[in-house]
C-alpha cells in the first residue's frame, strides 16, 4: 500500500474508533462489576465479565413492561405514518390540483416552528379531551402526517412517471384504486425509510412521554431510564446495562433498513 | 362551451380529490399547529395555571420578561450554545463527509458507524456522556490526562458545562454528515479536473470548487442547525438533572436553555401564560435569525448554473 492509501485508511479508522468509543464504554461499563467501574484509572475492558448489572437493571424497574409500552407506541406511530404520509404525499405530487403548492410551502414552513410554541396549547387540548395520561397524544399526531416524512415521500413520487398512473386511470380505475394498486407498491422502498425514521423517532422520544404519561405503569423506556436515574442516582452499571438493552432494538431496526437509509441518502440525497 | 364546462368540472373534481388525499395533514395543521399557535398567542396575554381559567393581564407577561434574570440567563446560554455549537458541528460534519468520500474499501460500514449515534435514544446518549465526562472516573479526562492536558470537572464547573453540551452534539453529527456526503457526490468531476489542469493543489481545489459548490447545502444546514439549537432541551435538561430539584439548571444555571425555561414555567411552576409569552418570543427570534441568515447568504452562497 502506498503512503496515500495508508493515510486514507488511518483517517477513516480514526473516525470510526472515535464514533464507536462511547458505544464501547457503554457496553464495557455494563459488563463490569462495581469495583471495576469505580477504578482509577479506568480499564477499557472488564477484567472479569459480570452480567449482574443486567439483572439489577431488570429488577430496579419493570423493564419488560416499559419495553412493551415503547414497542406499542412506536408500532402505532409507524402504522399511523404509513397510512397518512403516503396519502398526503400522493396528493402533493401526483394529483395536480390548484393550491397544492401553497399547501406544500405551508407544510415545509411548519418544520421551522419551535415545538415550544405549541407546547402549552397542545397540552391543554389533550387535557380538555381527557387524553393526558393515555398514549393517544403520542400516537394521534402520526396519523395526521409528519411534514419531513411527507416531503421525503413526495420527492420520491415526483420521480414516478405520470404515464404509469394514467394508464391505470384509462383502464377505469378510481383514484383510490390507482393509489392502492400502483402507487403504494411502487413506493415500497421509500415507505421502508419512512417506517425506520418513524420507529427510531418514537422509540427515542423523551419530551412527549415526559409530558403526557403520568402513571408509572405506562412509562416508555426513555421515562423509565430517566426515573431510574432520579431514584438511584449514579448507579452506572445497571444504568449502562439498561441503556444497552434500550438501544439495541433501534440499532437492529436501523441495520435492517440501513440499505435504504444512509446509503440511500448519501448517494441520492433527499430528492 | 361544453368542453370548457367539463374542464371546469374536471378541475373541481381534482381539487376535491387533492384535498381529500391531503386531508390528514390539513386536519393536523388546523388542530395541532395553526390552532395552538393562535391559542398560544392568546395565552401569552393571560395569567393561569391548570386549575383556573385564564385571566387577561395585557402585556404583563412580556414586561415580566424584561426583569426576569433567569430569562436573560437562559437566552444568553442558548445563544452561546448556538453561535459556538452550530458552526463547530457543521465544520466537523464537513470534515467527516470529506473523509467518508475518500476511495476506501468497505465505505458503507464506515458511514453506518458515523450515522449510528444519531439513532441512539437521547436519554441513553446523555447518560453515557455524563459517565464519559465524569471528572474522576470518566474516559474523557483519562484521555486528556494521557496527553498532559488539564482535566476539568465538566459538569460541576459552570465554565465547562456548555462545552460538554457541544461535545455531545458533535457525537451525533452523523445526520449532517450524510447530507454533506450527498452534496459532495453532486459536485461535477470535470470541475476538479479543470482545476487540476490549472495546477491547483488540494487546498485550492477545496476553496475554488468544493466549498462554493457546497454553499447552498451549508446554508440549509446552518438554518436547520440554528433552529434546532435554539430549541435545545433534552441534553441540557438531562445533564442538569438531579434528585432534588425539578427546576434545575446546572451549576449557576449554566445549563439552563431557553427550551428548558419554557418547560419549567409551563410544567414545574405552572405559569402557563408566562410560558406562552416565552414561547412566542422564541418563535420571533427563530424567524428573525432565519431571515437574517437568508439575507447574508447572498454574499457567500453560490448557486451553480
**B128 CB near a chain A CB, below 8 Å?**
yes
pLDDT at A35 over 90: no
pLDDT at A212 over 50: yes
Q: Which residues contact A132 (CB under 8 A, 6 or more apart)?
A: A123, A126, A212, A214
Say what the pLDDT of residue A189 is: 87
Say what the pLDDT of residue B233 is: 96
pLDDT block averages, 10 residues each, chain B of length 305: 66 91 97 96 92 90 95 97 98 96 90 94 96 93 93 94 97 95 88 86 89 92 94 95 78 95 94 96 94 90 73
**B96 CB near a chain A CB, below 8 Å?**
yes
- Same-domain status, B117 and B242: yes
- Same-domain status, B31 and B102: no
pLDDT interval class at A123 (50, 70, 90): very high
pLDDT interval class at A38 (50, 70, 90): confident
Nearest-angstrom CA–CA distance, B218 and B159: 29
Least confident of A97-111, A186-200, B2-16, B26-40: B2-16
User: Would you tell me which residues 152-211 of chain B have a C-beta closer than 8 angstroms to some C-beta of chain A?
Assistant: 171, 174, 178-179, 181-183, 185-186
- Same-domain status, B22 and B74: no
The residue among A163 and B44 whose pLDDT is bigger is B44
Chain B hits for A261, Cβ within 8 Å: 115
**A179 CB near a chain B CB, below 8 Å?**
yes
Instruction: Quote the cell numbers at residue B59.
Output: 402585556
- Each residue's pLDDT tens digit, A43-69: 888 888 889 999 999 999 999 999 999
Half-sphere exposure of B275 (CA within 13 A, CB side): 28
**ipTM of the assembly?**
0.91
Nearest-angstrom CA–CA distance, B73 and B76: 5
Q: What is the mean pLDDT of residues A142-157?
A: 95
Do residue A118 and residue B36 have CB atoms under 8 angstroms apart?
yes
**A266 CB near a chain B CB, below 8 Å?**
yes
Q: Give percent of chain A above pLDDT 90.
A: 70
Say what the pLDDT of residue A271 is: 42
**In chain A, domain spans:** 1-50, 61-268
For residue B285, give the chain A residue with the closest CA.
A114
- Same-domain status, B202 and B242: yes
- Same-domain status, B176 and B89: yes
- Same-domain status, B201 and B270: yes
Say what the pLDDT of residue A249 is: 92
- Same-domain status, B206 and B293: yes
Chain B hits for A204, Cβ within 8 Å: 119-123
- Each residue's pLDDT tens digit, B116-147: 999 999 999 999 999 999 998 899 999 999 99
Chain B hits for A122, Cβ within 8 Å: 32, 36
Phi, psi at B47, each rounded to 5°: -125, 120
Cis link prior to A97 (omega < 30° from 0)?
no
Q: Residue B47 belongs to what H/E stretch?
A: strand B46-47
Do residue A22 and residue B117 have CB atoms under 8 angstroms apart?
yes
Say what the pLDDT of residue A153 is: 94
Q: What is the mean pLDDT of residues A152-179?
A: 89
Instruction: Quote the cell numbers at residue A27.
Output: 457496553
- Same-domain status, B36 and B165: no
**B227 CB near a chain A CB, below 8 Å?**
yes
Closest CA to B263 of B250, B252, B276: B276
- Same-domain status, B124 and B31: no
The single residue listed with the C-alpha cell 370548457 is B4
User: Would you tell me which residues 71-110 of chain A have a C-beta closer than 8 angstroms to some C-beta of chain B?
Assistant: 83-84, 87-88, 90-92, 95-100, 103, 106-107, 110
Beta bridge mates, B46: B56
Instruction: Quote the cell numbers at residue A39.
Output: 477504578
Inside any domain, residue B167: yes
Inside any domain, residue B280: yes
Inside any domain, residue B196: yes
How many degrees, rounded to 5, is the angle at CA A248 between CA A243 and CA A250? 110
- Each residue's pLDDT tens digit, B89-117: 999 999 999 999 998 898 889 999 999 99
- Same-domain status, B181 and B109: yes
Do residue A204 and residue B243 have CB atoms under 8 angstroms apart?
no
Inside any domain, residue B263: yes
Beta bridge mates, B47: B55
Q: Residue B46 belongs to what H/E stretch?
A: strand B46-47
Closest CA to A15 of B183, B134, B170: B170
Say what the pLDDT of residue A201 is: 95
Task: Give the CATH number of the domain where residue B131 resides.
Answer: 1.10.3720.10
User: Would you tell me which residues 264-303 of chain B have a C-beta closer than 8 angstroms to some C-beta of chain A?
Assistant: 266-267, 272, 275-276, 278-280, 282-283, 286-287, 290
Chains A, B: CB pairs < 8 Å = 270
Closest CA to B266 of B56, B43, B28: B43
Interface probe for A, chosen from B48, B119, B225, B246 (most Cβ of A below 10 Å), is: B119
Contact A244, A27 (CB under 8 A): yes
Closest CA to A25 of B150, B142, B162: B142
Say what the pLDDT of residue B51 is: 82
- Same-domain status, B185 and B221: yes
Inside any domain, residue B269: yes
Say what the pLDDT of residue B98 is: 95
B55: DSSP letter: E
Inside any domain, residue B51: no
**B129 CB near a chain A CB, below 8 Å?**
yes
Mean pLDDT of chain A: 91
Helix (H, G, I), strand (E, B) or coil at B56: strand
**B213 CB near a chain A CB, below 8 Å?**
no
Of A21, A119, A203, the CB nearest to B121: A203
Half-sphere exposure of B94 (CA within 13 A, CB side): 17
- Same-domain status, B263 and B162: yes
The single residue listed with the C-alpha cell 420521480 is A159
Q: Which residues contact B10 (CB under 8 A, 6 or more apart)?
A: none
Q: What is the mean pLDDT of residues A143-168?
A: 92
Nearest-angstrom CA–CA distance, B14 and B22: 12
**B143 CB near a chain A CB, below 8 Å?**
no
Inside any domain, residue B150: yes
Contact B121, B265 (CB under 8 A): no
Say what the pLDDT of residue A260 is: 61
For residue A151, give the chain B residue with the closest CA.
B25
How many domains does chain B divide into?
2
E strands within A165-265? none
| Domain ranges, residue B30 | 2-43
- For A61-268, CATH gives 1.10.3720.10
Amino acid at each position: 500500500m502506498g503512503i496515500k492509501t495508508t493515510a486514507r485508511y488511518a483517517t477513516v479508522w480514526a473516525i470510526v474508533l472515535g464514533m464507536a468509543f462511547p458505544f464501547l464504554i457503554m457496553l464495557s461499563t455494563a459488563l463490569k462489576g462495581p469495583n471495576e467501574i469505580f477504578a482509577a484509572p479506568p480499564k477499557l475492558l472488564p477484567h472479569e465479565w459480570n452480567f449482574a448489572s443486567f439483572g439489577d437493571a431488570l429488577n430496579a424497574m419493570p423493564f419488560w413492561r416499559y419495553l412493551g409500552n415503547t414497542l406499542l407506541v412506536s408500532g402505532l406511530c409507524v402504522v399511523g405514518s404509513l397510512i397518512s404520509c403516503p396519502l398526503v404525499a400522493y396528493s402533493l405530487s401526483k394529483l395536480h390540483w390548484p393550491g397544492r403548492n401553497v399547501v406544500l410551502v405551508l407544510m415545509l414552513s411548519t418544520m421551522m416552528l419551535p415545538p415550544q410554541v405549541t407546547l402549552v396549547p397542545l397540552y391543554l387540548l389533550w387535557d380538555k379531551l381527557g387524553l393526558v395520561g393515555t398514549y393517544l397524544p403520542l400516537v394521534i399526531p402520526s396519523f395526521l402526517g409528519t411534514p419531513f416524512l411527507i416531503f421525503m415521500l413526495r420527492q420520491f413520487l415526483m420521480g414516478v412517471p405520470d404515464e404509469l398512473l394514467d394508464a391505470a386511470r384509462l383502464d377505469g380505475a378510481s383514484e383510490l384504486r390507482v393509489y392502492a394498486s400502483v402507487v403504494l407498491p411502487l413506493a415500497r422502498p421509500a415507505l421502508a425509510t419512512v417506517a425506520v425514521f418513524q420507529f427510531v423517532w418514537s422509540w427515542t422520544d423523551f419530551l412527549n412521554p415526559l409530558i403526557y404519561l403520568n402513571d408509572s405503569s405506562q412509562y416508555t423506556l426513555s421515562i423509565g431510564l430517566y426515573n431510574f436515574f432520579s431514584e438511584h442516582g449514579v448507579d452506572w452499571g445497571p444504568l449502562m446495562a439498561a441503556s444497552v438493552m434500550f438501544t439495541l432494538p433501534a440499532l437492529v431496526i436501523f441495520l435492517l433498513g440501513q440499505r435504504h437509509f444512509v446509503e440511500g441518502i448519501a448517494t441520492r440525497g433527499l430528492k | 362551451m361544453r368542453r370548457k364546462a367539463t374542464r371546469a368540472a374536471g378541475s373541481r373534481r381534482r381539487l376535491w380529490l387533492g384535498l381529500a388525499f391531503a386531508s390528514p395533514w390539513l386536519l393536523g395543521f388546523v388542530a395541532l399547529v395553526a390552532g395552538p399557535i393562535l391559542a398560544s398567542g392568546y395565552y401569552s396575554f393571560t395569567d393561569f395555571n391548570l386549575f383556573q381559567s385564564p385571566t387577561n393581564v395585557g402585556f404583563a407577561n412580556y414586561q415580566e420578561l424584561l426583569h426576569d434574570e433567569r430569562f436573560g440567563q437562559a437566552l444568553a446560554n442558548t445563544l452561546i450554545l448556538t453561535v459556538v455549537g452550530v458552526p463547530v458541528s457543521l465544520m466537523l460534519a464537513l470534515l467527516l463527509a470529506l473523509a467518508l468520500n475518500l476511495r476506501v474499501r468497505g465505505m458503507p460500514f464506515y458511514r453506518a458507524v458515523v450515522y449510528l449515534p444519531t439513532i441512539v435514544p437521547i436519554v441513553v446518549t446523555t447518560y453515557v456522556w455524563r459517565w464519559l465526562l465524569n471528572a474522576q472516573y470518566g474516559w474523557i479526562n483519562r484521555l486528556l490526562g494521557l496527553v498532559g492536558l488539564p482535566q476539568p470537572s465538566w459538569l460541576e464547573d459552570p465554565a465547562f458545562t456548555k462545552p460538554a453540551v457541544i461535545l455531545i452534539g458533535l457525537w451525533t453529527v452523523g445526520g449532517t454528515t450524510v447530507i454533506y456526503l450527498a452534496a459532495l457526490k453532486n459536485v461535477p468531476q470535470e470541475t476538479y479536473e479543470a482545476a487540476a489542469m490549472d495546477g491547483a493543489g488540494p487546498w485550492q481545489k477545496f476553496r475554488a470548487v468544493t466549498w462554493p459548490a457546497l454553499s447552498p447545502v451549508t446554508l440549509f444546514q446552518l438554518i436547520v442547525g440554528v433552529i434546532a439549537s435554539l430549541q435545545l432541551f433534552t441534553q441540557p435538561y438531562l445533564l442538569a438533572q438531579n434528585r432534588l430539584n425539578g427546576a434545575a439548571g446546572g451549576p449557576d444555571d449554566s445549563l439552563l436553555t431557553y427550551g428548558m425555561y419554557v418547560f419549567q414555567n409551563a410544567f414545574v411552576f405552572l405559569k402557563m401564560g408566562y410560558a406562552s409569552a416565552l414561547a412566542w418570543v422564541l418563535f420571533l427570534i427563530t424567524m428573525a435569525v432565519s431571515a437574517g441568515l437568508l439575507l447574508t447568504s447572498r454574499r457567500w452562497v453560490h448557486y451553480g448554473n
